[in-house]
Amino acid sequence: MELQQMRYVLAVAQERNFTRAAERCHVVQSALSHQIKALERELGVELFARTSRRVEPTAAGEAFLASARASLDAADRAIADAAAASGKIRGTLTIGLIPTVTAIDVPATLARFHRTHPEVRINVRTGASDEFIAAIEGGAMDVAVLGLPAEQSHRGVTMQVLARERLVAVVAAGHPLAGRRRVRLAELADETFVDFPDRTPGRAQSDLAFQAAGVRRDVAFEAMSTDLILGLVAQGLGVALLAPGLVPDGNGLHAIPVTDGPTRVQCLAWSGFNASPAAQAFVQGFPGDGDTH
């Protein structure tokens, strides 16, 4: 069994299509199909159920995929470790980014890393902090930039604080509070809020701050997109609590400091157990406040 055959199987499983899998692997479809059929003959099982319109892994195929992924990951890591021993960084860097990163210039950071380590393939994913922590713990992600309500510790995950910032209240230009220089949470108790969905890390710091202050609030609109949240606020539909760097100048919006408002901690997170050479290279010398846990 060859590693390339396993790569072909994974590509077909992900694409659910032999033509797209062949394009992804940069081979002609006939060669890819021939290699998979040869592997099936060697194993004595069918890995895929095929029709003219559908391709799906069989039960045997699903069982094979899990081990194939592990084998390919191990092979890729072996190649990367060997290259690192000779001073070269290779392999893949999978990085997770929350949509509300303000602590770093993401494009500039990735460009700088790419210029220094051009042989590393960079995969960028967007999502939520809790998803990224689980992915790092499970070995499916190398590093991530997180937004958390406070410093947190997770077994097997190392975190470096990049920034701490107090959220601001964002209101429309015509809102009664628009002219205020600062407000307190209690003064926002009767407002309608626009926020991230319930039980998400992006909203946790605000919920915790209101609970600690003994203030109840009404979140009438929920959205995962910061642009949508700001758009709803600009239309006068509610008030939002966001990091200052996410609020554009003008556009009918006013940002007001909240004296007892919630604080968000942005962290760089990576595996605390056997991080890949690419991950180690990425986090080395990364800007932060020196707080690593």
Say what the pLDDT of residue 255 is: 94
pLDDT tens sequence across 65-81: 877 777 767 666 666 56
Same fold, 3-84 and 96-154+266-283: no
| CA trace torsion 285, 286, 291, 293 (10° rounding) | -90
The whole-angstrom separation of Cα 9 and Cα 15 is 10
More confident residue, 51 or 44: 44
State the pLDDT confidence band at 171, using cuts at 50, 70 and 90: very high
Mean pLDDT of 13-31: 87
Residue 140 corresponds to which tokens in the numbers above? 């499916």
> So what's the pLDDT on residue 180?
93
Q: How far apart are CA 187 and CA 122, in angstroms?
A: 45
Residue type, 190: D
Residue 161 has pLDDT above 70, yes or no: yes
Asked if residue 82 has pLDDT above 90, the reply is no
Q: Provide the token pair at 238.
A: 């509610």
Higher pLDDT among residues 236 and 293, named by residue? 236
* pLDDT > 70? residue 288: no
Q: For the chain, give every domain's residue range.
A: 3-84, 96-154+266-283, 168-261
E strand segments, the chain: 48-50, 55-57, 91-97, 120-126, 143-148, 157-166, 168-172, 192-195, 218-222, 240-242, 253-257, 263-271
Report pLDDT for 293: 55
**CB 92, CB 123: distance < 8 Å:** yes
127: left (phi over 0), alpha (psi -120 to 50) or beta: left
Contacts of the segment 213-216: beta carbons below 8 A, 24+ positions apart? 213/185, 213/186, 213/260, 215/185, 215/186, 215/188, 215/189, 216/189
pLDDT for position 54: 84
Regarding the domain delimited by 96-154+266-283, which CATH topology (the fold level of the hierarchy) does it fall under? D-Maltodextrin-Binding Protein; domain 2 (3.40.190)
Q: What was the pLDDT predicted at 273?
A: 80
pLDDT of residue 83: 56
What does the alpha-carbon distance between residue 248 and residue 270 come to, in Å, rounded to a whole number?
31
- CA dist 25 and 11 (Å) reads 7
Count CB atoms within 10 A of the CB of residue 97: 18
User: What pLDDT digit, counting tens, does each position of 194-223 carry?
Assistant: 999 998 888 999 999 999 888 889 999 999
pLDDT in tens, 257-287: 999 989 999 999 999 887 888 898 899 867 5
Mean pLDDT, the chain, rounded, equals 86
Secondary-structure class of domain 3-84 per CATH = mainly alpha
168-261 sits in which CATH class?
alpha beta
pLDDT tens sequence across 111-148? 999 998 888 889 999 988 989 999 998 888 999 999 98
- Specify the pLDDT at position 253: 93
In this structure, are residues 27 and 18 in contact, taking their beta carbons and an 8 Å threshold? no
